[in-house]
Amino acid sequence: MLGRFTVEEINLMCILNTDSRTMLMAQLTEAMPYFAEPELVELSENLLSRLDKMTDADFTELGLFPEYEESEVLP
């Protein structure tokens, strides 16, 4: 499912709050006025458009952060 996103889009999503699609979209919209690079603004606009077209269920299935078994987590 992540195949629909570029590496840059995935990286941008992962530095923001990905608890929900709407929270991610809100944070991205709030941050955009502070982006100095036009390329980052364009990337954000494209990402917002893609996120807007998907459902919350689709977003949940993205698996932006892998789930680890408790024994795999370092102390």
Please tell me whether the overall predicted TM-score, pTM, comes out greater than 0.85 for this model.
Answer: no
For residue range 59-68, what is the model confidence (pLDDT) as tens digits?
A: 888 877 655 5
2 or 10, which is more confident: 10
> Distance between CA atoms of 42 and 30, rounded to whole angstroms?
15
Sign of torsion over alpha carbons 60, 10, 31, 33 = negative
Predicted pLDDT of residue 73: 55
Spans of all domains in the chain: 2-57
For residue range 4-43, what is the model confidence (pLDDT) as tens digits?
A: 888 899 889 988 887 889 999 999 999 999 999 999 999 9
